[in-house]
Structure 1
Amino acid sequence: MSELVSGGAAVIDALVAHGVTDVFGIPGTHNLELYRHLRGSGIRHVVTRHEQGAGYAADGYARVSGRPGVLVTTSGPGITNAVTALATSYADSVPTLAISPGAPRGRVGADVGWLHELKNQQAALEAVTDRSIRVERADDIPEVVADIFEGFATRRPRPVHLEVPVDVLEGEWLRRPGARRPLPEPVRPGARAVEAAAAALARASRPVVIAGGGSRRAADHVAALANLGIPVLTTVNGKGVLDERHAAALGASARLVAAHEVVNDADVLLVVGSELGDSDLWGGVVAPGRAGERTVIRVDLDPRQLHKNVRADVPLLGDAAAVLGELVAALHAAGAPSWPAERAAEARRRIDAEADERSEPWAQIQRSLAAALPADTVVAGDSSQVTYYGTVHYWPFGTANRLLYPTGYATLGYGLPAAIGAKVADPGRPVVALFGDGAAMFSIQELVTATELGLGLPVVVVDNGGYAEIREQMVDRGITPEAVDLYRPDLPALAKAIGAHGIAVDDAADLGRAVASALSADRPTVILHRV
């Protein structure tokens, strides 16, 4: 029997049909019909203390769970507060869905002083997401949501914004059953292209693989290439795709000059799921071999990426796991040789030597934590030196999707809410937030969220006195440091005032034990370490 409900039910029903179990957000005047139907839907709602926190939490949730992260905001300032988080997900190809109300039908751009009115809210969100979709009828919502989730599974996964006019959310809707749309087969290139790539690799004397974030679901096939002796370098987003203790692993060191030299010496370069951008290479240039004497093979689900920054000689458009599976099979069929292990070992020695030039104080912190924590621990970092100089290089990962880090957009304030999202996604898994004091103050309010949820979440704040990286850049340019040496609050006391635990650890060697103990606490623990 049909049931007459509000348009908010169409949104919630569609989320339920697509297996959504958790959403992050904040209720507001214009999205209340969503909350009417959330209760009783089986979906858990986590209320954050800022919509940006909801966006970062949804991002961390998606990276750890492999499922799209969902956030719900109100119109105007609610959704614009989440813009930076959505831009972060866009830069790192993370599937998040932001749902917000919009101006009533016929009122977009009216400029009449409607509450939360923007000149064009949808256009603002279109600028930072893969798509911003406005639905004009509640009946259209089930199909639109099905299309969004199909896109997450079959296209480059990037955030999508769904805008529902307030009058549609609050209007009547005759409820009808919704269903999940069957997904098509993974995108694959033609057999000739795969054969050409396999032939080039089989002839190579100095092959190298760069595995980016797009390779995370193709880890077994990346390992199969490494087992042939092909050195594998990862970007930061690909960290752990290949166990960093593997003999052919060069680590997540694509930013180092020594790694650039290894890549540029290659006669065949296989790039999987990476745009080879500045955030991956830190100003380095990928120019393997000399023209006519090298072959670049690129594997990507996004056709716009196949020639970006470095032109592909053999472009392979498709899902990384499907493409690499065919490529590995073709290599074995072609009788591909095993490349000598000494080449990868020598490259790793050169890369490690460069990393060690800037190891302190970051290496000691990471090694203390790595030694004390379980091997599957998720580390939620930030655009902080302790992350990009520390965790990236000195904490070896054996699997992918363990480092949550805003690589491309390089935002501050990501780490704490992303850690909350990770913990919601997988409550039984150890999660640690690890970032600097500058980053901490961008989202410290989310410590209230973690406390309210009773999360045993260690929050390690490495205090180096403010915005140390920016201070160094000022000094390098001959600028007198300004606005970078920050007032240092008593963070353990602040944590206790919120209701969390708070301690200070002076010796980096003791950090691991303190964090391991905090994993079993009944609430988050802020652990302050000054360097």
Structure 2
Amino acid sequence: MKTVGQALTEGLVARGVEVVFGIPGVHTIELYRGLSGSGIRHVTPRHEGGAGFMADGYARVSGKPGVAFVITGPGLTNALTPMAQAKADSVPMLVISGVNRRSSLGQGLGLLHELPDQAGLVRSLCPSFQVTGPEALERCLNMAFAAMMSGRPGPVHIEVPTDVMGMEAAAAAAPIAVTPALPIPEQIAKAAARLNRAKQVVILAGGGARAAGAELRSLAKALDAPVVQTVNARGLMGGHALGVAASASLHAVRDLIAGADQVLAIGTEFGPTDYDMYVRGGLPDLAGMIRVDICPLQLARHPAAITIRADSRSACTALLAQISAGARQGAARAEATMTAARAEVAGIAPQAPNQIALLEALRDAVPGAIIVGDSTQPVYAGNLLYDHDRAGGWFNAATGFGALGFAPGAAVGAAVAAPDTRVFCLIGDGGLQFSPAELRVAVDEGLDITYLIWNNAGYGEIADAMRAANTEVIGCAPSPLGLQAFAAACDLPYACITPTPEALRNAVALPGPRLVEIRDF
């Protein structure tokens, strides 16, 4: 007999799932019975939050949904923070949990891991589907994958009651193919006509353009248009003369946008942490823009002259076929903007240029690496102004939802997705203490991750913000871990360096897993 738990795993394999991140428990044993012999790789985190962040990092690098198995109740509530981060950054993540037997749900019987309404808790964040019986399994899987892949990506939850997991499974059906939305030809023609008439086009690229790197670069070249990249789009234009790898919150970048006679926005939600991180308003009027997005709700949130509902790759390809190439001094405009942005950043945050220099030294020392960041000062600096050399190779949780402790788990997921690529996890000493145990997973799995710990002995960025607000600094000095002893406890090689480019280059010469402390105090 094949159980529902086994059939669920087979359904994941049929949909291209190769890795599951999870911690087994008494409520998910039948799910794990299905993993045996399935060919799916299982990676064991140390906390369900780590499982979610690993699924996130895996999805960002692989382009496939990241999958996590968690137990009922606290396992799922621990995964809610990663799910919220994935929702904020449009990352496809499937969290599969158990739930108590159907007859007990909502009864308050005091069962192990019981919640009053587990699915209701999740539905405030994302879709949740319950496998009410064997016949419902294929429907739930199809709906979950359609929700993750047919529109704006994000997290989805499936729960399987414990009394259903062991039932005899219904016959499996072929997965339903999910195809992306294609642009409407009339909209493409109108947009192309506007772009061809324009003399100073500017492209705004967001995380929704991550999978359209080649198409975006070709379109930018044809339009001779600078491309402003949000944090989740960094690397799409790595080293390109038309790339503007600087925050649209900076005056220099806003001046570039204001000077455009046509703005083309591709896969960007115009979130404040990318476009107004200083909460000062003043973003140029974008009502005349052409906007491309997969999500109709996003298209409805900002006025635009033309809206195109489509995935970024299809839209860029369709536009490129109708663009008349012309010289618009794009490279000169991009270079002038980056020069002005560097000067502006130095005035806003005097320590940022040195931190950006560290990032550039790391990039140049290990070309094509993936840098996974947490909320820490060098990452904030890089989000303001840093050009990475790999599409999708710079991402972090310092924008949008902003979950501290994101990076250790996400780096594991990234390394599993790209086993032949060096991965760097850049995290502060404070953020590290949110999820320190996930470093051990890199050792267990033999992953090439170098953990770069920016140690300023506290929450340095928050302390600076409190001082800037003329507020007494309280609660910002938690004692850091003794990182040499911590590295030894994790069986990680250890080095301690000063925050200089030369020291960093030397410290990353050897592959991971290893821990490098960058001491800034």
Aligned to 2:2: 5
- 1:343 aligned to 2:343? no
Question: In 2, are the aligned partners of 1:436 and 1:462 still within 8 Å (CA)?
Answer: yes
- 1:215 aligned to 2:209? yes
Aligned to 2:311: 319
Aligned to 1:188: 182
Q: Give the superposition deviation at 1:287.
A: 4.6
SS in 1 for 2:385: helix
- 1:450 aligned to 2:446? no
Aligned to 1:137: 133
Within the candidate set 347, 354, 365, 2:344 is matched to 354
SS in 1 for 2:508: helix
Q: Give the superposition deviation at 1:11.
A: 1.2
Question: In 1, are the aligned partners of 2:7 and 2:172 still within 8 Å (CA)?
Answer: no
Q: Give the superposition deviation at 1:349.
A: 2.0
Normalising to structure 1: TM-score of the pair?
0.92
Aligned to 1:147: 143
Aligned to 2:262: 268
Within the candidate set 229, 232, 250, 1:256 is matched to 250
Question: In 1, are the aligned partners of 2:243 and 2:334 still within 8 Å (CA)?
Answer: yes
Distance change in 2, residues 1:392/1:287 (3 Å) = closer
**Which deviates the most, 462-471 or 49-58?**
462-471
2: CA distance, partners of 1:252 / 1:65? 25
1: CA distance, partners of 2:58 / 2:280? 31
Question: In 2, are the aligned partners of 1:296 and 1:312 still within 8 Å (CA)?
Answer: yes
Q: Give the superposition deviation at 1:73.
A: 0.4
1: CA distance, partners of 2:365 / 2:177? 44
Aligned to 2:56: 59
Question: In 1, are the aligned partners of 2:206 and 2:268 still within 8 Å (CA)?
Answer: yes
Q: Give the superposition deviation at 1:363.
A: 2.3
SS in 2 for 1:94: coil
- 1:484 aligned to 2:476? yes
Normalising to structure 2: TM-score of the pair?
0.94
Task: Describe the superposition over 1:364-420 as per-residue Cα deviations: whole angstroms up to 9, x where unpaired.
Answer: 3213212211x21000101111112136624x2233210131231111001111111
Aligned to 2:118: 121
Distance change in 2, residues 1:119/1:441 (3 Å) = same
Q: Give the superposition deviation at 1:461.
A: 0.2
SS in 2 for 1:57: helix
Aligned to 1:236: 231
Distance change in 2, residues 1:392/1:454 (3 Å) = farther
Task: Describe the superposition over 1:493-526 as per-residue Cα deviations: whole angstroms up to 9, x where unpaired.
Answer: 1110222222211252211221121x1x5xx211
Question: In 2, are the aligned partners of 1:420 and 1:450 still within 8 Å (CA)?
Answer: yes
- 1:305 aligned to 2:301? no
2: CA distance, partners of 1:102 / 1:75? 5
Q: Give the superposition deviation at 1:479.
A: 1.3
Within the candidate set 500, 512, 516, 1:527 is matched to 516
Which blocks of at least 5 consecutive residues in structure 2 are unaligned? none
**Which deviates the most, 478-487 or 4-13?**
4-13
Matches within 5 A, 1:34-433: 34-129=31-126, 131-170=127-166, 172-174=167-169, 176-184=171-179, 186-227=180-221, 228-243=223-238, 245-281=239-275, 282=277, 283=279, 285=281, 287-288=283-284, 295-308=288-301, 310-332=302-324, 336-340=325-329, 341-357=331-347, 358=349, 359-373=352-366, 375-390=367-382, 393-394=385-386, 396-406=387-397, 407-433=399-425
Task: Describe the superposition over 1:333-367 as per-residue Cα deviations: whole angstroms up to 9, x where unpaired.
Answer: xxx53212433332232223223443343123213
SS in 2 for 1:179: coil
State how many pairs are aligned.
511
What amino acid does structure 2 have at the position aligned with 1:354? E
CA RMSD, Structure 1 to Structure 2 (Å):
1.8
1: CA distance, partners of 2:169 / 2:252? 63
Q: Give the superposition deviation at 1:233.
A: 0.2
Q: Give the superposition deviation at 1:284.
A: 5.6
Question: In 2, are the aligned partners of 1:412 and 1:439 still within 8 Å (CA)?
Answer: yes
1: CA distance, partners of 2:481 / 2:285? 52
1: CA distance, partners of 2:370 / 2:280? 29
Q: Give the superposition deviation at 1:268.
A: 1.2
SS in 1 for 2:323: helix
Task: Describe the superposition over 1:136-165 as per-residue Cα deviations: whole angstroms up to 9, x where unpaired.
Answer: 012221232133223333211111000111
What amino acid does structure 1 have at the position aligned with 2:339? R
Q: Give the superposition deviation at 1:120.
A: 0.7
1: CA distance, partners of 2:390 / 2:280? 26
Which blocks of at least 5 consecutive residues in structure 1 are unaligned? none
Q: Give the superposition deviation at 1:194.
A: 1.2
Question: In 2, are the aligned partners of 1:100 and 1:164 still within 8 Å (CA)?
Answer: yes
Task: Describe the superposition over 1:177-209 as per-residue Cα deviations: whole angstroms up to 9, x where unpaired.
Answer: 44332333x312322211111111122222211
Question: In 2, are the aligned partners of 1:155 and 1:301 still within 8 Å (CA)?
Answer: yes
2: CA distance, partners of 1:253 / 1:372? 24
Task: Describe the superposition over 1:266-315 as per-residue Cα deviations: whole angstroms up to 9, x where unpaired.
Answer: 2211111111011211136475459xxx721100000001132x311111
2: CA distance, partners of 1:111 / 1:330? 62
Question: In 2, are the aligned partners of 1:208 and 1:269 still within 8 Å (CA)?
Answer: yes
Question: In 1, are the aligned partners of 2:181 and 2:310 still within 8 Å (CA)?
Answer: yes
2: CA distance, partners of 1:423 / 1:71? 16
SS in 2 for 1:5: coil
2: CA distance, partners of 1:285 / 1:187? 33
SS in 2 for 1:59: helix
Question: In 1, are the aligned partners of 2:61 and 2:417 still within 8 Å (CA)?
Answer: yes
Matches within 5 A, 1:19-30: 19-30=16-27
2: CA distance, partners of 1:480 / 1:140? 57
Distance change in 2, residues 1:149/1:260 (3 Å) = same
Question: In 2, are the aligned partners of 1:24 and 1:58 still within 8 Å (CA)?
Answer: yes
Identical aligned residues as a percent: 37
Question: In 2, are the aligned partners of 1:493 and 1:502 still within 8 Å (CA)?
Answer: no
Task: Describe the superposition over 1:10-44 as per-residue Cα deviations: whole angstroms up to 9, x where unpaired.
Answer: 21111111121110010111111111121111111
SS in 1 for 2:290: strand
2: CA distance, partners of 1:368 / 1:213? 25
Task: Describe the superposition over 1:416-464 as per-residue Cα deviations: whole angstroms up to 9, x where unpaired.
Answer: 1111111111211111111211111111011121122222321000111
2: CA distance, partners of 1:288 / 1:99? 43
Question: In 2, are the aligned partners of 1:10 and 1:173 still within 8 Å (CA)?
Answer: no
Question: In 1, are the aligned partners of 2:231 and 2:395 still within 8 Å (CA)?
Answer: no
